[in-house]
A = this chain, B = another copy of it.
């Protein structure tokens, strides 16, 4: 396989560091890896796979000779530099929300819609973390029986809000234990007017509010799911909540499928053979997915699968995955792997 020159924009962030890890771990055919970040981080050293990398400031010229550029440094950085990278011949795999809903930009989860990659024009969008794990788990069900409706409530980890949010949860937990004043400056989001403690709390706001009363995170789940499945008639509504969990998003997902009378066993069998999915579902052994045990794992874990007693085509599932891996870094690297194949 042809070896490629790779750049990671946002290389010092929570997701950027995982992209580097996954490229090395999966023996991605790299010729060279360039780590890019803000001017502030330039000069930092990152050691991975026995190699020392020096972080460089992102400038338009950074992308000369780059074949694949992973972006994970926030929407404004992607808007500023993605086209510069494409202009210089790179394919951009963007992990922000900047381009996801642009019609001719593919929004891809390889297990679900790898076909959407064909005919891309230089930028490929990686979906939102909470969307990826949900569509990965629902795809085999949708493919076999059809899918009419999704109602999802999320239980999201702080690492989805970046490294600073992880530090905030840890310092607040200590402040709480010491009965000292809880200081909140990052969550629900650094740019928000008001900040609330996340330690020993649950915050029903992720990202900013839209005029509809939904948060952007909720709208991402609703709109991205329809785009990835290529089904604008699919009904999706979401409630997104941040929890005092470091890594691992969980989702309580209610679905109505396109066929009545399907059994839980049939869904089990489908999911057990689905790529990237692990079924952890045995109430008699108290076996079900939990975020603490999903951390560091590549797969999407599904459990608590049960029929809704109130609807002939209704089911509930509990879907958990590492939001930094399948929800971000791993999916981006998988997109690159699919492109190269």
Contact between B252 and A314, CB atoms less than 8 A apart: no
Q: Assess whether A254 is in contact with B202, with CB atoms less than 8 Å apart.
A: no
Contact with B along A269-302 (1 / 0, CB 8 A): 0000000000000011110111110000000000
* Contact (Cβ within 8 A) B244 A244: yes
Nearest B residue to A314, CB-CB: B237
CA gap between A91 and B22 in the complex, in Å: 65
List residues of A (284-334) whose CB comes within 8 Å of B's CBs: 284-286, 288-292, 303-311, 314, 316, 318
Cβ of A241 within 8 Å of any chain B Cβ, yes or no, is: yes
Smallest Cβ distance from A178 to chain B, in angstroms? 10
Please tell me which one of the listed residues B212, B245, B309 contacts residue A237 in the complex, with CB atoms under 8 A apart. Answer: B309
Does A194 count as interface, using CB distance less than 8 angstroms?
A: yes
Q: Which of B149, B200, B290, B310 contacts A236 (CB 8 A)?
A: B310
A177, CB-defined interface residue at 8 Å: yes
Residues of chain B lying within 8 A (CB to CB) of residue A237: 254, 308-310, 314, 316
Main secondary structure of the interface of A (DSSP, over half): mixed
Say yes or no: A209-B310 contact (C-beta < 8 A), given A204-B303, A250-B204, A252-B239: no
Query: How many copies make up the complex?
Result: 2
Complex CA gap A246/B155 in Å reads 17
In the bound complex, residues from chain B placing their C-beta under 8 Å from that of A252 are 153, 204, 239, 241, 252
Contact of A239 among B177, B197, B200, B304 (CB under 8 A): B304
B308 touches A202 (CB 8 A): no
Say yes or no for A145: interface residue by CB 8 A criterion: no
A213 to B307, CA, bound (A): 9
Check A196/B241 contact, CB under 8 A, given A250-B204, A304-B204, A310-B236: no
Inter-subunit contact A213/B177 (CB<8 Å): no
Given A155-B241, A212-B306; A205-B288 close (CB under 8 Å): yes
> CA A209 – CA B283 in complex, angstroms?
6
Chain A 152-188 interface mask (CB, 8 Å, partner B; 1/0): 0101000000000000011001101100000000001
- Residues of chain B contacted by A17 (CB below 8 angstroms): none
A212 to chain B, nearest CB (A): 7
Does A24 have its Cβ within 8 Å of any Cβ on chain B? no
Question: A203-248: which residues lie under 8 A (CB-CB) from chain B?
Answer: 203-205, 209, 212-214, 222, 235-237, 239, 241, 243-246
Contact residues of A with B, CB < 8 Å?
149, 151, 153, 155, 169-170, 173-174, 176-177, 188, 192-194, 196-197, 200-205, 209, 212-214, 222, 235-237, 239, 241, 243-246, 250, 252, 254, 264, 283-286, 288-292, 303-311, 314, 316, 318
